[in-house]
Amino acid sequence: MAEAETARISTAQQGDATLEVSFSGAFVLAASAPQQIQALQELPASIHKLVLKDEGITEWDSALLILLMEIKQRCEKQEVELDFSGLPKGAQQMIQLASEVPERKGAAHDGKRDSFLVRIGKKSQSTWGEVTGFVTFLGAATISVGRMLTGRAQYRHSEFWAIIQECGPKALGIVTIISVLVGAILAFVGAMQLQMFGAQILVANLVGMGMVVEMGALMTGIILAGRTGASFAAQIGTMQVNEEIDALRTMGIPPMDYLVLPRLVALVIMTPLLVIYADVLGILGGAIIGIFALDIPPVLFFNQTFSSISLWHCAQGLIKGSTFGLLVAIMGCLRGMQCGRSASAVGEATTSAVVSGIVMIVVADAIWTYIFMTVGM
């Protein structure tokens, strides 16, 4: 059919109460809708019966069906009898099929919003559920660590070393790039201010203190949240979807020991090491700027750096770093274990692990900073 005939609908009054509607041409979605549909928009009140007739429909598809459904609904609303026995058999059957099961009331999601109070109530209920879930998980993890210390935990040592490898050495690349750049940025920003007093040499103090106390740990924590926390959540979440965790349980192997424990321990061991590495690289990044852009002699720069930071400063950074590692591992594993049983749930678990990991890192950082300040050493 090279040239599809345009669809036409014509109406003719038959007697007092009957309207005859004739269809002809091609009713296909690709073609434009027939003009006469307007005529059917408002049926005169005197009409009580509508007879649909096929006056040479050349081809039809869903376009005709949509039209018929619309007419049918209008007829039902105005209580007009509808007779479509004159239409193609296939179309009649399709209409029959579509009308067989009545539209389920309330099946379509109504856009009605809950009232303000109801929403507050629901929100606080779900928040409370989050809190109890978190605390329960912490408790189970603690018991599991206890089992490990007494040598009764069931986990595979090869798996543990694989996780150590994955979250430690394999993160060195990105930690290198980020900490060198952060060290350099600190040096640049500091230099601009300190130049005004002719005190460029203090850039060394700024970079040293900034990296060791704060930025080394914070940057490592955030990198781990995005890299390792996300992968923990995705791994455990996928295992949840595949019933692999159920399989562990029915074999009498607690998933807490088998999956969560090695991840927690691995990250708590590896994070401080990464923080030390980040500190050193950050100071190097600052030194590059200090030596080449600010013309500070290398020996002077490093002497100044090491005289400004004490062991206690390093310890502060390491304490923060260990906390961050623990938080990232907990959030990653918790979200993985809470994961629903679908592919999209794994995505949500991963996102949530990263977001809540970062939030908790920053909150923990604030708390530790406050504690260290009040301790005042």
Partner 1 sequence: MTATPSNPASEPIPDAVRMHVDGLEMRYGDFLIQKDLTFDIRKGEVFIIMGGSGCGKSTLLKHMIGLIRPAAGEIYYGDTPFWAQEEDVRQQMMQKVGVLYQQGALWSSMTLAENIAVPLEEYSDLSAKTIREVASLKLALVGLAGFEDFYPSEISGGMCKRAGLARAMALDPDILFFDEPSAGLDPISSKLLDDLILELRDSLGTTIVIVTHELDSIFSIGDNCVFLDAETKTMIATGNPRELRDHSPDPRVRLFLTRGQTDGHEDQRESEQVKR
Q: Report the amino acid identity of residue 211.
A: M
Question: What separation in angstroms does the CA of 78 have from each of 48, 71, 75, 81?
Answer: 9, 11, 5, 9
CA distance 227 to 328: 10
State the residues that interact with partner 1 by CB under 8 A: 100-101, 104, 154, 156, 159, 238-239, 242-244, 246-254
CA torsion angle for 361, 365, 367, 373 (degrees, to 10)?
Answer: 170
Note whether 349 and 339 are within 8 A (CB).
yes
Strand (E) or helix (H) holding 164: helix 157-167
CB nearer partner 1, residue 119 or residue 249: 249
Note whether 337 and 359 are within 8 A (CB).
no
Length of the chain measured in residues: 377
End-to-end CA distance of the chain: 89
Cβ of residue 286: shortest distance to partner 1, in angstroms?
Answer: 41
CA distance 59 to 90: 11
Strand (E) or helix (H) holding 135: helix 116-149
For residue 340, give the nearest of 211, 232, 259, 243 by alpha carbon. 243
CB nearer partner 1, residue 71 or residue 153: 153
